[in-house]
Amino acid sequence: MQTARSLLFNLLLYTSVIFISTLIIVLFPFISTVRLQKLSSIWVHFILKSLKVLCGVTWKIEGLNNLPNKACILVSNHQGAWESFFLQTLYHPSSSIIKKELLYIPLFGWALACLKPIHIKRSNKLASLKKVIKDGSDKLKGGISIILFPEGTRAMPLKGLKPFSSSCGLLSVKNNVPIIPICHNSGLYWKNKRFNKEKGEITMRIGPPLYGKDAKILTNDAYEWIKKNFKEIN
């Protein structure tokens, strides 16, 4: 039964991706990036609602009151697609840091480019770090929040956290904006590169704003907060 439900959800996901991607590309010359992001968020809510109805995957969000009403850096562990979708709905405008290869996917990648993410080549770590700091700073100064997965790739829940890039701490210190640490266990239910979605409740915890003057210490503070909560919910 869960396989059949997952089949229906995946069909809905991929067919609707074609629709929303085409719509964003067509509208791109005529409306602002913020409005395109809001349109994308409507689609994300539809997908997550479909996931709940079809596959029985629900979620609870703790600490929403910790989100500031100004630009910030959302720093999260990365397990799969769910958080990539959900975090986009928290702030408009916002900009995700993504691998450049995603932009080459027909329709989806072209639509993604219209939403103005920060794209990097992961093979060149130093150049990627410089680009994140430069482009991220420009966006933060313009009131745009940054969505950042400092592990740099997806990690299976049972294998724990991967080391964090210092980019989140450097961005925060340079621009005097807070890091908002976020921890979740989405990979237990929407497993990376798995067809079936597992019925259950995703827990996402949003921590208090973190400030500091030392990028290394600040990055470690974010890591330790996420690590502590990771152990409790995974």
Per-residue pLDDT of the chain (234 residues; tens, 9 = 90+): 899 999 999 999 999 999 999 999 999 999 999 999 999 999 999 999 999 999 999 999 999 999 999 999 999 999 999 999 999 999 999 999 999 999 999 999 999 999 999 999 888 888 999 999 999 999 999 999 999 999 988 988 888 899 999 999 999 999 999 999 999 999 999 998 888 999 999 999 999 999 999 999 999 999 999 999 999 998
Q: What is the CATH number of the domain that holds 164?
A: 3.40.1130
Write down the pLDDT at residue 45.
Answer: 96
Write down the pLDDT at residue 160.
Answer: 87
Write down the pLDDT at residue 124.
Answer: 87
Write down the pLDDT at residue 215.
Answer: 97
Write down the pLDDT at residue 208.
Answer: 98
Q: Closest Cα partner for 172 from 112, 132, 128?
A: 132
Write down the pLDDT at residue 146.
Answer: 97
Write down the pLDDT at residue 37.
Answer: 95
Write down the pLDDT at residue 125.
Answer: 85
User: Domain range for residue 150?
Assistant: 2-233
Write down the pLDDT at residue 193.
Answer: 82
CA angle 7, 195, 205 (to 5 degrees): 110
Into how many domains does the chain fold? 1
For 109-123, how does the pLDDT look when each residue is reduced to its tens digit (9 = 90+)? 999 999 999 999 888
